[in-house]
Structure 1
Amino acid sequence: MNIDKAVLMFAGLVVLLGLTLGWLVSPYWYLLTAFAGLNMIQASFTGFCPAAIVFKKLGVRGGCAFS
């Protein structure tokens, strides 16, 4: 697995977690989903993604979008 796939998987998990917690616990958890979406949008413009930095430090090999 490379960084690109790891970031996509992590973003998908955060979105699903936010939706599940928003449905089961409190609607305020939908803000987590909104944060994940906004972070994906800004990463597409700037190329800066905190999750990619963390995955890189964990030793995940580089990809095309986040090297």
Structure 2
Amino acid sequence: MTTGRIVRFMAGLFVLLSLALGVQGSPLFVSPWWLAFTAFVGANLLQSSLTRWCFMETVLRKFGVQSGC
């Protein structure tokens, strides 16, 4: 997998997990504060689309993961 695919996979996973933990109707509900994590992930996706820089991609490249989408 390339850095772009890993970033998109992790963002989707984090959003779904934080929704499961933050929405009251979910059987995994813990606290509505988990929705703040969903907002954080969304803000980071927005920031990376505007600046063309993503911290997670930088870290993945340092671990030797192939760059690309």
> TM class, shorter-chain normalised?
0.7 to 0.9
Q: For the pair shown, which has the larger CA radius of gyration, 1 or 2?
A: 2
Runs of 4+ in structure 1 over 3 Å off: none
- Deviation, 1:46, is 0.1
Q: Which runs of 5+ in 1 are unaligned?
A: none
**Residue pairs, 1:1-67, within 5 angstroms:** 1-23=1-23, 24-64=29-69
- Unaligned 5+ segments in structure 2 are 24-28
What is the TM-score when the length of structure 1 is the normalising length?
Answer: 0.87
User: Greater helix percent: which structure?
Assistant: 1
Structure-1 separation of matches of 2:18 and 2:58: 22
| Identity between Structure 1 and Structure 2 (%) | 47
Secondary structure of 1:12's counterpart equals helix
Counterpart secondary structure, 2:66: coil
Deviations 1:7-62 (A, max 9, x none): 10011111011111113100000000000001000100001111111111121101
